[in-house]
């Protein structure tokens, strides 16, 4: 299930809070439905899954366990594409690597688990903004020093995942037009 197993496309969105993932997800859902797909939006964040809540506290806090559960959730989302369901994933591999770096001390094994097991999306986008833009768009969500660490972590993670990087500080209509073109390409590829 590491690769897209079905005819439904998998579109993944990554980026800091305030980057425009929700607006992009709404546009993507509209485009996919117009192309005849049933859609499902998924939200997954490393370490924030119901299955982890059932584990004893010490296990729940282990980076490798969180990475395995995140990968399992990604695989389950990808499995939906077999039924011609188009999946729009808010948070994917790039976000997971950033969360891993911020929540746990550098953990090479957990990083390898994520990179080895995360299914490939048909379109995998990183909406890039800087820490100051995130703080301005989502005031009070995160302290500026944390946002600055996130910004640096995204810069390190993006080359590892091969994500399509989009400058999300540009005007909203330009950002959405670029995303729309990528999604239309995935729809055309799935139809071929």
Percent of the chain with pLDDT over 70: 87
8 A C-beta contact, residue 109 and residue 32: no
pLDDT band with cut points at 50, 70 and 90 for residue 76: confident
Q: In degrees rounded to 5, what are phi and psi of residue 88?
A: -110, 110
Residue pointed to by tokens 């139809």: 191
CA atoms within 13 A on the CB side of 126: 24
8 A C-beta contact, residue 64 and residue 113: yes
Q: What is the pTM of this model?
A: 0.88
Task: Report how far residue 154's alpha carbon sits from residue 134's, in angstroms, rounded to the nearest whole number.
Answer: 13
pLDDT tens for 97-147 read 998 898 876 788 889 999 999 889 999 999 999 999 999 999 999 999 999
Task: Report how far residue 132's alpha carbon sits from residue 126's, in angstroms, rounded to the nearest whole number.
Answer: 17
* Residue ranges covered by each domain of the chain: 10-186
8 A C-beta contact, residue 134 and residue 20: no
Task: Report how far residue 141's alpha carbon sits from residue 8's, in angstroms, rounded to the nearest whole number.
Answer: 34
The mean per-residue pLDDT over the stretch 27-49 comes to: 86
Q: How far is CA 168 from CA 5, 105, 179, in A?
A: 30, 29, 11
- What would be the CATH architecture of the domain defined by 10-186? 3-Layer(aba) Sandwich (3.40)
The mean per-residue pLDDT over the stretch 152-179 comes to: 96
Q: Which residues of 102-117 are buried (b: 16+ CB within 10 A; e: fewer)?
A: ebbeebeebbebbbeb
């Amino acid at each position: 299930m590491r690769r897209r197993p079905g005819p439904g496309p998998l579109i993944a969105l990554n980026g800091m809070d305030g980057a425009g993932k929700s607006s992009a997800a709404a546009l993507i859902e509209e485009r996919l439905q117009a192309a005849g797909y049933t859609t499902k939006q998924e939200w997954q964040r490393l370490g924030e899954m119901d299955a982890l809540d059932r584990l004893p506290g010490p296990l729940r806090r282990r980076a490798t366990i969180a990475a395995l559960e995140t990968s399992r959730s990604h695989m389950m989302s990808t499995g939906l594409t077999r039924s011609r369901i188009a999946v729009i994933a808010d948070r994917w591999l790039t976000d997971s690597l950033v969360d891993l770096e911020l929540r746990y001390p550098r953990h090479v094994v957990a990083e390898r688990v994520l990179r080895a097991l995360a299914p490939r999306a048909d379109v995998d986008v990183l909406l890039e903004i800087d820490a100051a833009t995130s703080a301005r768009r989502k005031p009070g969500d995160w302290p500026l020093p944390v946002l600055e660490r996130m910004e640096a972590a995204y810069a390190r993670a993006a080359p590892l995942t091969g994500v399509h990087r989009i400058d999300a500080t540009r005007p909203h209509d330009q950002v959405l037009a670029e995303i729309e073109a990528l999604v239309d390409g995935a729809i055309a590829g799935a139809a071929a």
